[in-house]
Structure 1
Amino acid sequence: MTPAAEPATTAVRVWDLPTRLFHWVLAASVIGSVVSAKIGGNAMSWHFRFGYVVLTLLAFRVLWGFAGGHWSRFATFAYTPAALVRYLRGVPRPGERFDVGHSPLGALSVFAMLAALAVQLGTGLIADDEIANVGPLNRHVAVATGLAATAYHKSVGQALVIVLVALHVVAIVVYLLRRRNLIAPMVHGDKRLPASVPASADTLATRLFAAVLLAGCAAVVDWLVSQG
């Protein structure tokens, strides 16, 4: 019996440009935020700036999770526990494509990072180190709340973000060793896949729409910070 031929593949747009830019700018901003915090002193002004950029990006990503390209939408990687088990066992159901967008493990990493950053940003906005750095919204909370937020932000919160970033890097290396490059698609946006796999919309119109969303998020963050 002749073995069935593998389906022909073509370049399919998986990661739209807004998602790719979000990913790389977020990575640079998180690194800049951590480094500036470690340096301290005058570098803390940059720590705040990086934090505001991350907050803007996070707000944008939440909106883009509902309005972005197909594989950037939360609906495509909000897996059930059963799907995670099937992925770990390597027995996907017919039609399940864990190799296109975020895999179940990758999805957990994404949601964990978004949640950790959200809490880190929230505590940073109301923090007060009782030396020279005060979050812009600190005056709106009780002193004890601000101090508790500072303690979390400087210790557990920062460590959690660093650990999640490190795990992300380790996962990329592991996949590279298994001859699966996760970096390249996040640069150029495409993966070699069967033509039947739906592509993410990535047109001039969707990119302009993303720019409007990002500008709106930046305006909201600027207003929020001004409330201090």
Structure 2
Amino acid sequence: MRTLKLPRTLLAGLALAVSPTLFAATPTPFTATYQVSSQGEEMGTATITLKALGNGEYEYSNQIHGTAGLAAALGANSSDVTRFRWNNNAPETESYRSTVVAFKTKQRSMQVNWNSKQVSVDEGKGSSSYAAQPGMVDRNTLPFALGMALRSGSQNVSLPVGVRQRVEQQQFKVQGAEAVQVPAGSFHAERITRTDSDSHFDAWYVPKQFVVPVKLAQSDGGNLTLQLVHYSSP
């Protein structure tokens, strides 16, 4: 019986064609809990969940509850929920709603009509609209989108992020590997920062284990630092 031998160059090409690093795997549902602090003072807990809704759609939820200090005294809580579709190997926001309760309740919603390619934002004072961009995410799903990009091997990431009145093309860069100690354990993590803005954003990822950061520190939303406590996935 004759054995067919393929040229090494062809074998290498086939291996490259099916390499998993070239294709971002579809998201796997998970639950991650975090310790939340502000300016070094513990203030509460955060629970981030990803649920599959079927037909390539997902729900990404971030619930923060004030359990200590002033946050507990004020009964401060926040809820951010995004529905996105998995499109071109990346998340793409379909809707986003945010509710923050402290002294008073603040709400914000975003709807994306991908047929008309229009974004509508309502913060309780009338809605505004602007043109959507392919691959657009919102501020809630931004850390998740970064994690998926890092998992696929990216070191420089550019993401279109829908904000109040426009889409911002935000730039991020991996600065190197660092040892990180959080309640969930010690990790050798990749630190990524935002490079196109004075807004402080640092996140530490272990992309082979988690699609969300083990630690996140950002000025947007109240100078919060999140440290991973527990992560579970089916």
Shorter-chain TM band: under 0.3
Higher relative contact order (CA 8 A, sep 6+): 1
**How high is the TM-score relative to the length of structure 2?**
0.24
**How high is the TM-score relative to the length of structure 1?**
0.25
Instruction: Determine which structure has the larger strand proportion and give its number.
Output: 2
Instruction: Determine which structure has the larger helix proportion and give its number.
Output: 1
